[in-house]
Amino acid sequence: MSPMNRSVDMSADTWILTAQCPSRLGTVDVVTRFLKESRCYITEQQSFDDRLSGGFFIRTEFRPEDDGFDADAFRAAFAPRAAEFAMSFELTAPGTRLPVVIMVSKADHCLNDLLYRYRTGQLPIKIRAVISNHPDLEPLVAWHDIPYHHFPITPETKPEQEAQVWQVVQETGAELVILARYMQVLSSDMCEKLAGRAINIHHSLLPGFKGAKPYHQAYEKGVKLVGATAHYINDDLDEGPIITQGVGAVGHADYPEDLVAKGRDIERLTLARAVALHVERRVFLHDKRTVVFDR
């Protein structure tokens, strides 16, 4: 079952250990052996060895067999073992809900979907604030009792507006920023600040259409597929490391408004899936690519 389609069990007792290092004999063993010695039962494990780059990645869910599991002691004991392999690692506690900030413009389909999944427990996140360059979606966000920040933007005020955005990110402690159809290009400085912790969603039409009304352009060319791409942001517009993509078939009987509707459905599903993969620690950044341990 895909992460976006299952509810989060806040009473779950499984921890998540993620790690990466250069490829070397014994990389799996150093993780599994330590967990066994620590009396931790592995409930799920995925690993990948990239033979082209020589990188190794592993994600392990485990359940302590003994009461009183001490996370700090676990990290301290595993650190010297990991250091032998130049291995970086992260330990995530059960029931962790990642603090996030969502950025939007006027389109509400992705925001509405994320709010629903948040409210029903399908996404392990805490939405700390919603930021927009328009006031239109404030009533929707207010209904969910979430702070809404309206920061208008013009080419002249872009630095000041982004400073306001960054202040909200810092004050809320957000560890992830979700661009849920935020129709503004982030500056190089903002992209650098949010590197590895900001996810964007955009359409993926074959062939590609840029500019205004991409779905109308696609209709005029008679495309047969529409889709969406969720990726981490970087300084190359819509070309950051891809987390996940979605696609759907269209035909001659689909008019521009039908393509728009189908595209929006794919966008919201693809974004939700990418967020779920990220917050469940299933995505590893690897140069300009990602390693994704899907379910």
Query: Quick one: how far is CA 282 from the chain centroid?
Result: 9
Contacts of 199 (CB under 8 A, 6+ apart): 176, 177, 178, 179, 230, 231, 232, 233, 243, 271, 274, 275, 278
Q: Which of 238, 254, 265, 287 is catalytic?
A: 238
Query: Residue 21, CB half-sphere, CA atoms under 13 Å: how many?
Result: 22
Could you tell me which residues are beta bridge partners of residue 107? Answer: none
Contact of 36 with 55, CB cutoff 8 Å:
no
> 238 catalytic, yes or no?
yes
The span from the CA of 200 to the CA of 249, in Å, is 23
Q: Which of 130, 71, 70, 75 is nearest to 100 (CA)?
A: 130
Strands 198-203 and 176-179 turn out to be parallel
Active site residues: 238
